[in-house]
Amino acid sequence: MKHVELDTGLVVAGHGRHYVVETPDGRRLICHPRGKKSDCVVGDRVRWQATLSNTGDEGVIEAIEPRRNLLFRQDDFRTKSFAANIDQLLVLVATEPVFSESQLSRSLIAAESADIPARILLNKVDLPGAPTARERLAPYREMGYEVIEASLKAEADAARTRLAPLLQGKATLVLGPSGTGKSTLINLMVPDARAQVGDISQALNSGRHTTTTTQWYWLDSERESALIDSPGFQEFGLRQIAPAELAAYMPDIRAHAKGCRFYNCTHLHEPGCAVLAAVEAGRIAASRHRIYREIHEELDRPTY
Ligand X SMILES: Nc1nc2c(ncn2[C@@H]2O[C@H](COP(=O)(O)OP(=O)(O)OP(=O)(O)O)[C@@H](O)[C@H]2O)c(=O)[nH]1
212 is in an annotated binding site: no
Does the footprint of Zn ion cover residue 47 (CB under 5 A)? no
Pick from 41, 46, 226, 273 the residue near Zn ion by CB under 5 A. Answer: 273
Does the footprint of ligand X cover residue 210 (CB under 6 A)? yes
Pick from 182, 256, 288, 289 the residue near ligand X by CB under 6 A. Answer: 182
Pick from 85, 103, 105, 180 the residue near ligand X by CB under 6 A. Answer: 180
Binding mask 224-243 toward ligand X (x if CB under 6 A, else -) reads --------x-----------
Pick from 1, 50, 98, 127 the residue near ligand X by CB under 6 A. Answer: 127
- Angle at 235 (CA atoms; ends 229, 236), nearest 5 degrees: 70
SS3 content of the chain, % helix, strand, coil (to 5): 30, 25, 45
Q: What is the rounded distance in angstroms from the CA atom of residue 223 to the CA atom of residue 217?
A: 9
Residues 6+ positions from 301 with CB-CB distance below 8 Å = none
178 is in an annotated binding site: yes
Amino acid at 237: G
Does the footprint of Zn ion cover residue 253 (CB under 5 A)? no
Strand spans (E) along the chain: 7-15, 18-22, 28-33, 45-50, 59-64, 70-74, 79-84, 88-94, 118-123, 147-149, 171-175, 215-218, 226-229
Q: CB 199 → ligand X: shortest distance, Å?
A: 22
265 is in an annotated binding site: yes
Does the footprint of ligand X cover residue 205 (CB under 6 A)? no
Gyration radius of the chain over CA positions: 21
Angle between helices 130-142 and 101-113 (to 10 degrees): 30
Is the Cβ of residue 33 or residue 176 nearer to ligand X in the bound state?
176
Chain residues 138-167 in contact with ligand X, contact rule CB under 6 A:
151-154
Is the Cβ of residue 89 or residue 255 nearer to Zn ion in the bound state?
255
Does the footprint of ligand X cover residue 51 (CB under 6 A)? no
Q: CB 279 → Zn ion: shortest distance, Å?
A: 10
Q: What is the rounded distance in angstroms from the CA atom of residue 257 to the CA atom of residue 196?
A: 46
Binding residues for GTP: 123-126, 176-184
